[in-house]
Amino acid sequence: PDHPAEPWRIKMVEPIRTTTREHREEALRAAGWNPCLLRSDDVYIDLFTDSGTSAMSDRQWSALMRGDEAYAGARSFYLFEEAVRGHYGYEHVIPVHQGRGGENILSRCLIRPGSHVPGNMYFPSTRAHQELNGATFHDVIIDEAHDAAGEHPFKGNVDLAKLQAVIAEHGAAIPYVSLAATVNMAGGQPISVANLTAACDLAHAHGIPVFLDTARAVENAWFVKQREPGWAHRSIADILLALCAPTDGAVMSAKKDCLANIGGWIALRDPDLAEQARGLVLLFEGLHTYGGMAGRDMEAIAQGITESVDEHHIRARIAQIEYLGHRLDTAGVPIVHPVGGHCVCVDATAVLAHLPRTELPGQTLAAAVYLEGGVRGVERGTVSAGRDPATGENRYPPLEFLRLAIPRRVYTQSHIDHVADTLVRVHKNRHDITHGLTFTHEPPHLRFFQARFAPT
């Protein structure tokens, strides 16, 4: 696929600069071989995350000037509430400062020690809050999701037999089913409307609610439109509503699809659960009409939601990522297939097949790519998976990759080509990487953010 012609022109620029390899070696050593600890000034192309890193439009920037900073009942909240209701279809909209604020509150409302929560693959912050409140997470995603090279069009799908089995074994102890659209840790893979609906029907048949992580549900809607029979002629906005319709609520990080730099929400149908959640917002986020956001942030999100479902925007957004995936494919760099909605994921166990999993190939590849081209990605493998709370042992997930997450409306084709050229060089010289990494400092929670490493 060709690189898309961007459906925007640049009105403001933020200078970035390349660095020398010597500079990067010094910076990485100071960062304990953890790209998460690098200063952004030392990064040329920052693909650490698509979360909060998108460029806002002139309409969003001008909306900031309309921010109502009233403590209670701000105009900006009602605009935000209406945008969420209209696009996601839930009645009760509860603001939080970002996604994990919602994960904290939903988990505290519904999980008790001994709970069991099924979901389509784990996400570190989501599972951390489930485990912190005493739940055991059960992965009920289809087997194909764990196979990097497989081409299944909806790797985010739930294996209904697996879900049924968890319900049969733990039914009464399941407070809710926790699904995501798309599935980040599978490589930004979508779930189909049919499968999501079937999973909800199965859960509801046992009186179990389903909550959806909608951080990238617009990207998911795009894949439904392209791949799921019967949806090709429906608008992205309609498909987004259809994804949310069978679920009981959603947790949202507004830092992804919504083109905002901060913010989020919990969206619910049940008024009593909504009241309980608002009570915890008062404790952890702020008032229930701002939830840790400034009025201007809610203005930017309301406008960003409208822009996010524009078909010219989402088509170009996805096409840029497919372009990068295609460049790596044609160069023989092993990546997760199909290419996901927000990232290209390089299969570190394939590139560094000569390193044992105990030497952290994903983290090693992240360091090598930064050194080679000033490109920052993030490890999504053993380091991210953390330790099993029951045994204290490292969990070695089947997928171990370097995620290259692409911010929205930020990088142009020449930047993407720089990334591709960097990966091609690292892959060509992969046997020069003779050692992996080992922890020198390992924090207890979400360790990949703050961990420090040294070459083995």
Ligand X SMILES: CC1=C(O)/C(=C\N=C(/Cc2ccc(O)c(F)c2)C(=O)O)C(COP(=O)(O)O)=CN1
* Residue 215 Cβ vs ligand X, minimum distance, rounded to whole Å: 4
Q: Would you state the structure tokens that stand for residue 158, as one six-digit string?
A: 């739930």
> In whole angstroms, how far apart are CA 243 and each of 144, 212, 238, 267?
21, 9, 9, 14
**What minimum distance in Å lies between the beta carbon of 33 and ligand X?**
17
Choice between 3 and 292, CB closer to ligand X: 292
Q: Which is nearer to ligand X, 213 or 307 (CB)?
A: 213
β-bridge partners, 189:
183
Report the nearest approach of ligand X to the CB of residue 434 (Å). Answer: 28
> Which residue's CB is nearer to ligand X, number 216 or number 313?
216
Q: How far apart are CA 100 and CA 49, in angstroms?
A: 15
State the minimum distance, in angstroms, from the CB of residue 254 to ligand X. Answer: 8
The backbone torsions φ and ψ at residue 188, rounded to the nearest 5 degrees and listed phi first, read 75, 45
Q: Are 250 and 214 in contact (CB under 8 A)?
A: yes
Cβ proximity to ligand X: between 70 and 449 the closer is 449
The nearer residue to ligand X, 325 or 381, going by C-beta atoms, is: 381
Counting beta carbons within 10 angstroms of the beta carbon of residue 367, is it exposed (0 to 12), middle (13 to 18) or buried (19 or more)? Answer: buried
Which string of DSSP letters, residue by residue, matches 22-85? HHHHHHHHHTTT-GGGS-GGG-SEE-S-SSS-PPPPHHHHHHHTT----SSS-HHHHHHHHHHH
d(C-alpha 351, C-alpha 424), whole Å: 11
Least Cα distance to 260 among 306, 223, 219 occurs for 306
Cβ 260 to ligand X, closest distance in Å?
10
CB of 253 to ligand X, least distance (A): 3
Q: Which residue's Cβ has the minimum distance to ligand X?
A: 99
In terms of CB distance, is 167 or 185 closer to ligand X?
A: 185
Look at the block and give the residue holding tokens 């081209």. 373
User: Which residues lie near ligand X (CB under 6 A)?
Assistant: 49, 51, 98-100, 123-126, 180, 184, 213, 215, 253, 255, 264, 384, 405, 446
Smallest gap from Cβ 199 to ligand X, in A, equals 17
Specify the residue, 104 or 320, whose C-beta has the smaller distance to ligand X.
104
Sign of CA dihedral 197, 200, 201, 202: positive
